[in-house]
Structure 1
Amino acid sequence: MATNISTIWVVVFLVLTSVVMAANVDSEVLQALTKDKEVPVIVIFEEGKEVSINDFEQRKEAIAEKQEEILEKVSDTEQQEEEETEFLVKHRYSAITALSGMITSEGLEKLENDPDIAQIVLDGVKHIFLNESAPLVNASKVWNLTYNTILMDGSSETICVLDTGVDYTHPSLGNCSTSTFLNGSCSKVVNGYDYVNDDADPRDDNRHGTHIAGIIASQDAIFRGMAPGARIVALKVCGASGSCSDSDVMAGIDWCIMNASRYNISVISISLGGGQFSSLCNDDPLASSINTAVGKNISVVVASGNTNSLYPNAVAGISSPACVQNATAVTATNKDDTLASYAFRHSAFSTLVAAPGTSIESLKLGGGTQRSSGTSMSAPHVSGLMALLQQFMKVTQKRALTPSEIWLALNATGKIIEDNSSNRSYSRVNVLAVLLSLDNLPPTITFTTPVFGNNSVYNLSSLLINVSSNEPLQTAILEWNGVNESMAVQENTAFVTKQNLTVGSYTFRVLAPDLAGNLNSTSPITFMVNYNGYNGTILITEPRPSAFYNHSFQLNITLADADGLNFSLYKILNTSGGIVKENSTPLMNFTNFTWLDTLNLSDGNYSLSVLGTDARGFNFSATVPFVIDVTPPIISEIRQQPTVVYNNDSVIFTIVVTEPFLNASLVFFVSNVTGNWTSYLMTLAGFNGTNATFTYTLAGRTNLTTRKMIEYYFLAQDFAGNVPQLSLSSFIVENRLPAVTVLSPVANSSFIVGSTVTFNATAVDLDNDTVTYLWMFADGTNYTTAEFVKTFNTIANLTVQLTVSDIFNSTTISFPLSIIGSPETIPPLITSMLYPSELHMQRDGTIMRVNGSFFDASGIYNITFLFQNTFMSGTCQSNTTSMGCTWSFGVSTAGNKSFDVTARDNSFLKNSNSSTYNFVVTSCSDLAKNGDETAVDCGGSCNACSTSGGNDNTGAATGSTGGSSGSGGGAGTTSSQSSSTGESSSAATGSETGGDTITALSDEEQQAAEENSALTGAAVAALAANENRSTNSGSFLTGAAVLKTLRDQVVHSKTFWSVFGVIIILVGIVAFLVYFRDEQKRMINL
């Protein structure tokens, strides 16, 4: 009743509060609290001073303070345990002014009108939306573009993927193990969190998130992502079923905001949602999170949603949170650039952009690829595109784009697709077009050749003109003496060769626009050609063209001219054109001259430029490139997998080499694995622009010998011949113990003496070593084969020991066996007989109870129980080799008593074991209450001496082979007899397996027996036989039950005494007939 009143009160309270309509409480919260005691909610704060704080750490502290102020108004889990929890916190957000958790009606009452709270909304549930796309949006044309020597593939950018997790073990997403991901060394999926299971491992368990991440940044050779060089942060906010709570999505966005600077996060990709809205939903619980992210210059890309059974009309609106104003909502197109029939869209959303979403091939959970369709596939196209745009702007203009700048560029440059269903057009994104629209800087064009300056005079007939640019060129034009001609263009370079030059003066320059049409040109160069009498030569012996030097060396440059030398100059230039060293000899008067200066330069690429002027003023020159490299390669991150090696393992060695002039064909794994030191060429597995990774696999069996120490080192040589200092490593090929299985016999088995037993074992040695067997027995015999037979002629309990050895180690196991006597010759054991040695009739009653236990290896055939030469039935339970029985029978007179027990086994000979057990029955009197009691005068009352009877001791008899003995409690002796030759008896079997039950007498029956003890045994037997026949239970009643019946007849019939004699005679006859019949049945059973 109290529970019902409480429930009614809550309902009334909630109805009243809903009438009041607290402005900050969603009606769904009130409705949910009518069904549940606590419901999940998101508490969104009013924007205060913390919103305007630019310093992120200060903002974080201000939000935390506001959260504490709110929580102080309700009892939460951080308060004392005896207080009822009114708000159980789920998420404390760091960048978002909100909390989420479970709230009760009491907690809601305290917060509903709080001026610091803008909204209390139900923690809603969102759901995930279920090779040709990259070329379609021109992403593949961007991947090969190079700006300022940097490839435009999204490198250095990071995208947060809020979904079902990401399979970071996929070869196209980093191929990382769980341990490498958790320790932060995964280069592709760099971090993440699982908000569903609240742990640090966001591995996908659905497939949706992996497919999304592949569209963004897959490195697959065929199915590459939009930004294959970008990194992924995996935030698992959806469970395996695809359900996602708003509070977990908020937590994911909060994580991205807080870690944006650390990982250079520029985009959050969300392919999930719920509901369908035909207008902006800026009151959505996720709106605050999205607005905060956009305010931190992070674009939030959201799928618009797909049709389903609840929302079958695709043009009726878009889902939440795509309908939030600051979100970049994305709808889906087919491969023929039509709007997909399933894609949510609406004319009210002018900000909606479109991207391919139908039959998109992307990565599959666990490896490989698969096709999927939906706006879920469209959103990551735009997310990857944004990463490319951000990289481009940072490389070319040293700044990041704002989300609004990106949206404007997407809509301005995409392909316009008309949609009659929603009566508006949509811009299908075009990666190359939007990138070029942002390129407003002209290219930087420099001459690669020629390298001479203005007004030089040369004796040449042809000239190669080659220019390079910091970005891809659209075309290139050579302006040669005022006439334009085309040049060949290859990405960032352009070149042309001028042939058949004659004596004269020439002026030229190169003009080239980039892909966006921004034009630039080189400065003009003027030179002269003169053949007349020109004989000047330059012979450069050192440095040799493109040679590598790992030490200082001496120049050897000879200039010669038959007309005489007037001037000689050489310059050493670095890669940026700076002069590192120069020398000249003005006003010479020789026909030849040799430079022999010594160069001592640091590591780097250089070029030697030599100029000579003859006596007539003609110039001649030569240029030779060369490299100085005195630093040896650095070998780091040496890894051996596995670290513990066995002889059938394939051992993979991995090294990382840092060397700008590395000769990849001279990187070796050097080892004495064959007995001689041998060099093995390593395979180049990867290069990131600075470090090169090499591997070598050493195959087992043929190369590895157990217990052998393998030594090795690595050798890496650069083009200058430098090698690092050698570092010797080693490992020992470990040995594994043989694995042994005994097939027969089973441990703890028992065998009959004289048996021949088969012993059989098998051993597996994973090292493929030859194994030996050694069986050891207590009798001193040993066996050395895996299988053999052994005959046991002695009864014993023994332990068998088996040792299996290879050439290094051994495995030993032991197990017990029992050799026992033959059940054909051993009589059964009476293992115990439990009964009271003395039964005092007034103190203990007149019922004797006996419990017996029996054992025989062949099983117990039957048990015979005799009391005063009368067979007694009992209750027996047995298993394979043992039996336990219970007997209950009545006694009516005092004196020394005994019973006999015979057990027979199941052997062919039906061996038997018999024992007699004695006990004493005592009484206060001789049944005549005249004060003349036996031994003690009790004055005619049993009360005076009922406690002076015998001790309540329990006798126990334990049988053994050949017979048994026992004690009846000290009042008598127990005799036993065993037979191993079989037995024929006229006595009926008192009990067999599952035998009859003798029912214990009640207190009234015992009293009747005491009062009427003078009745003859014949009447007792007759009534017992009659009872046995009428109940068909096979139980013999004692005389007490009969006497109780007779007494009742006296009470209810006055004619009893007149017919008593007749009844006695009839009862005797009936008892005799029943007894005779039962005896015949028992004899048959025997």
Structure 2
Amino acid sequence: ASTARVAASAVTTVHGRVTTRLGLIGGVAAVVPADGLVQLGELAGVRAVTPDARLHFQSLQPAAPAALAAAAVDPVSVYGKEVRADLAHQAGWRGEGVTVALLDTGVASSPDLSGRVLPVTDELTGATSPCENLSGEPTCADGFGHGTFMAGIIAGSGASSDGKYQGIAPQAKLVSIKVGASDGSADVSNLLAGIQWAVSFRHRYNIRVLNLSLGTNSTQSWQVDPLNYAVERAWAAGIAVVVSASNRGPAPGTISKPADDPWVITVGAVDDRQTRSVSDDRSPDFSGRGPTVNGLVKPDVAAPGAHLVSLRSVGSSIDQQFPNYVAGAYRQGSGTSMAAAVVSGVSALVLSARPTMSPNRLKYALARTARPAAMTLPTAVGAGVVDAYAAVNAPPGLANLGLPRSSGEGKLSLSRGTVLVETNDPFQTVVQGSQTAQLLTWDPIGYLTGDWSGSTWYATPWSTARWYSTSWYGDHWVGHNWEGCSWDAGQDADCFYGHNWEGSAWYGAWD
């Protein structure tokens, strides 16, 4: 069918039952009465009706990884060395005492993250959970696979690889704020709620960094946009907000929201070419370029974001779509999401060494000590590639001096850009206009003027009303095609960064 929604409607017409929506192919899996098959095939919008079959996924956990190609089994992983995290580790800075809030699709259990993901406590009931779940799904499991990958980059210990695939800040803590469903989709209102939660409970969990490896293609001015307001409020509360630039490059003006905000640390990607030197780095075509739609120079800094090795979430959407694994527990991926996670880890290292450093001082230190890459265009890499060791010893200084702040009084609908999701309610409602993902009317005054604290969180609609999902219907989720590289050019090492996953705000490519 032309879309999964049309296909589902056709199935209902012949008294069938939809079991799974397949937004990737614009179809559904369904149980249909035998006498309705002919009618189903003749309905408008239905292109084909085919019988289902049982498939067996092979090599989900390779028994003999040595039998695979050497490049797939044992890729060089130097991103930590390129940003000189190894020197920071040798100096005794490994992220202790710092918590990074990961606003993403959840985090899967892994030996590499043992003891690092903080349990979240409901202060009303005393119950604990592996995450703050604002996704609408019933569990904290990472059904998409993106959040787990970011967690490994930020704070993975490398336990499953004898330390080989260690993250940037292996002693940092993580708190998982799940806002994305198993198809990767989420509404802007989920993000707004997640940011408010991080600010409200920052003292309880010692949240110093907020990682946002996501974005929308909204063109609403940062000066009025609610999402920009939210990240600025987190910044003002003492949380360094790290945001991926976008994967919509290489054209200028392809910085996503909220990476377009002048206050936050916006991160572009470089390809480290599997060397620790920055002299051979290039900026992949996928990495979003500045300026922003308001003419601001972005990104601020860059970090490795090509063919990074990190944790897989076994059985997740990405895991099944691209079943090429590294040493069983890991996979490779590319995108500015990964680059942002690297910078979040670097930020944790710096803050563990300099715990009194404010977000403005941290941003200044990262930019002041960044090393120029071979690609020096500021609209691609900003000040250059971050240097964890040098940033700890940076001269004092402040970023963001004299900047105005967002009023947040813009429209929620414009904050979404072209990104829309459909709920799993009986009417398959498309979340749009002033609706939140709870199907409530957006209350900008309450959001902009309310007290963001743990004592008030449980009185907000975010906490008291139902979040829909289970899961979002992805045929209404509009992603972005990557430009600048032919995804058929698999033999061209200078161009190919993996197969892109469309259909969510978590843009990325997976090897």
Q: If the length of structure 2 is used for normalisation, what is the TM-score?
A: 0.52
Aligned pair partner of 1:346 in 290, 296, 308: 290
Name the structure 2 match of 1:234: 176
Q: Distance in 1 between matches of 2:236 and 2:334?
A: 32
Name the structure 2 match of 1:269: 211
Q: CA deviation at 1:436?
A: 2.0
Q: Distance in 2 between matches of 1:421 and 1:436?
A: 23
Q: CA deviation at 1:317?
A: 2.5
> Are residues 206 and 299 of structure 1, via their aligned partners in 2, closer, same or farther at CA, if it must alter by over 3 Å?
same
Superposed CA offset, 1:170-193 (max 9, x none) = 11011799xx95789xxxx99521
Q: Between Structure 1 and Structure 2, which shows a larger proportion of strand residues?
A: 1
Matches within 5 A, 1:38-77: none
Superposed CA offset, 1:486-520 (max 9, x none) = xxxxxxxxxxxxxxxxxxxxxxxxxxxxxxxxxxx
Aligned pair partner of 2:136 in 177, 194, 197: 197
Aligned pair partner of 1:154 in 95, 101, 104: 95
Aligned residue type for 2:135 = V
Is 1:365 the counterpart of 2:313? The answer is yes
Q: Distance in 1 between matches of 2:233 and 2:377?
A: 35
Aligned pair partner of 1:293 in 207, 210, 234: 234
Superposed CA offset, 1:502-544 (max 9, x none) = xxxxxxxxxxxxxxxxxxxxxxxxxxxxxxxxxxxxxxxxxxx
Q: CA deviation at 1:371?
A: 0.5
Q: CA deviation at 1:419?
A: 4.2
Name the structure 2 match of 1:523: none
Q: Distance in 2 between matches of 1:295 and 1:334?
A: 32
Report the secondary structure of 2:256's partner residue: strand
Is 1:430 the counterpart of 2:374? The answer is no
Name the structure 2 match of 1:252: 194
Is 1:142 the counterpart of 2:98? The answer is no
Superposed CA offset, 1:931-956 (max 9, x none) = xxxxxxxxxxxxxxxxxxxxxxxxxx
> Are residues 313 and 257 of structure 1, via their aligned partners in 2, closer, same or farther at CA, if it must alter by over 3 Å?
same
> Are residues 380 and 341 of structure 1, via their aligned partners in 2, closer, same or farther at CA, if it must alter by over 3 Å?
same
Matches within 5 A, 1:382-421: 382-394=343-355, 400-417=356-373, 418-419=375-376
Structure 2 gap segments, 5+ residues each: 1-76, 123-127, 273-279, 315-327, 398-511
> Are residues 413 and 162 of structure 1, via their aligned partners in 2, closer, same or farther at CA, if it must alter by over 3 Å?
same
Q: CA deviation at 1:141?
A: 1.1
Name the structure 1 match of 2:16: none
Aligned residue type for 2:300 = L
Aligned residue type for 1:337 = D
Q: Which moved more, 1:154-163 or 1:346-355?
A: 346-355
Q: Distance in 1 between matches of 2:129 and 2:349?
A: 18
Q: Between Structure 1 and Structure 2, which shows a larger proportion of helix residues?
A: 2
Report the secondary structure of 2:252's partner residue: helix
Matches within 5 A, 1:27-38: none
Q: CA deviation at 1:373?
A: 0.1
Name the structure 1 match of 2:34: none
- The 8 Å contact of residues 330 and 378 in structure 1, kept in 2 or not, is answered as yes
Aligned residue type for 1:218 = G
Q: Distance in 1 between matches of 2:229 and 2:389?
A: 33
> Are residues 377 and 190 of structure 1, via their aligned partners in 2, closer, same or farther at CA, if it must alter by over 3 Å?
farther
> Are residues 424 and 238 of structure 1, via their aligned partners in 2, closer, same or farther at CA, if it must alter by over 3 Å?
closer
Q: CA deviation at 1:439?
A: 9.0
Aligned pair partner of 1:218 in 150, 153, 156: 156
Report the secondary structure of 1:409's partner residue: helix
Aligned residue type for 1:435 = V
Report the secondary structure of 2:384's partner residue: strand
Aligned residue type for 1:286 = L
Matches within 5 A, 1:222-621: 222-275=164-217, 281-307=222-248, 313-335=250-272, 336-347=280-291, 348-350=296-298, 352-366=300-314, 368-394=329-355, 400-417=356-373, 418-419=375-376, 422=379, 426-437=383-394
Matches within 5 A, 1:702-851: none
In the TM superposition, structure 1's runs of 4+ consecutive aligned residues that sit over 6 Å from their partners are none
Aligned residue type for 1:326 = W
Superposed CA offset, 1:669-692 (max 9, x none) = xxxxxxxxxxxxxxxxxxxxxxxx
Q: Distance in 2 between matches of 1:316 and 1:251?
A: 28
Name the structure 2 match of 1:49: none
Superposed CA offset, 1:293-318 (max 9, x none) = 111110111101102xxxx6442330
Name the structure 2 match of 1:648: none
Higher Cα radius of gyration: 1
> Are residues 438 and 192 of structure 1, via their aligned partners in 2, closer, same or farther at CA, if it must alter by over 3 Å?
farther
Structure 1 gap segments, 5+ residues each: 1-130, 147-151, 395-399, 441-1086
Percent identity between the two aligned chains: 30
Superposed CA offset, 1:229-260 (max 9, x none) = 00110111111111121111111111111111
- The 8 Å contact of residues 287 and 336 in structure 2, kept in 1 or not, is answered as yes
Q: CA deviation at 1:391?
A: 1.2
Superposed CA offset, 1:25-66 (max 9, x none) = xxxxxxxxxxxxxxxxxxxxxxxxxxxxxxxxxxxxxxxxxx
> Are residues 342 and 132 of structure 1, via their aligned partners in 2, closer, same or farther at CA, if it must alter by over 3 Å?
same
- The 8 Å contact of residues 284 and 324 in structure 1, kept in 2 or not, is answered as no
- The 8 Å contact of residues 305 and 375 in structure 1, kept in 2 or not, is answered as yes
Name the structure 2 match of 1:590: none
Q: Distance in 2 between matches of 1:231 and 1:174?
A: 10
> Are residues 171 and 183 of structure 1, via their aligned partners in 2, closer, same or farther at CA, if it must alter by over 3 Å?
farther
Q: CA deviation at 1:422?
A: 4.5
- The 8 Å contact of residues 266 and 298 in structure 2, kept in 1 or not, is answered as no
Report the secondary structure of 2:390's partner residue: helix
Q: CA deviation at 1:139?
A: 0.3
Q: CA deviation at 1:198?
A: 5.9
Q: Distance in 2 between matches of 1:271 and 1:301?
A: 8
Q: Distance in 2 between matches of 1:433 and 1:407?
A: 13
- The 8 Å contact of residues 294 and 326 in structure 1, kept in 2 or not, is answered as yes
> Are residues 280 and 404 of structure 1, via their aligned partners in 2, closer, same or farther at CA, if it must alter by over 3 Å?
farther
Give RMSD over aligned pairs. 2.8
Report the secondary structure of 1:297's partner residue: coil
> Are residues 370 and 175 of structure 1, via their aligned partners in 2, closer, same or farther at CA, if it must alter by over 3 Å?
farther
Superposed CA offset, 1:812-857 (max 9, x none) = xxxxxxxxxxxxxxxxxxxxxxxxxxxxxxxxxxxxxxxxxxxxxx
- The 8 Å contact of residues 314 and 342 in structure 1, kept in 2 or not, is answered as no
Aligned residue type for 1:133 = Y
Q: Distance in 2 between matches of 1:424 and 1:378?
A: 11
Name the structure 2 match of 1:842: none
Name the structure 2 match of 1:1027: none
> Are residues 425 and 267 of structure 1, via their aligned partners in 2, closer, same or farther at CA, if it must alter by over 3 Å?
closer
Is 1:173 the counterpart of 2:113? The answer is yes
Report the secondary structure of 2:151's partner residue: helix
Q: Distance in 2 between matches of 1:181 and 1:409?
A: 31
Matched length: 287
> Are residues 315 and 284 of structure 1, via their aligned partners in 2, closer, same or farther at CA, if it must alter by over 3 Å?
same
Aligned residue type for 2:372 = I
Aligned residue type for 1:325 = P
Q: Distance in 2 between matches of 1:328 and 1:256?
A: 17
Q: Distance in 2 between matches of 1:387 and 1:423?
A: 24
- The 8 Å contact of residues 98 and 348 in structure 2, kept in 1 or not, is answered as yes
Q: Distance in 1 between matches of 2:174 and 2:380?
A: 37
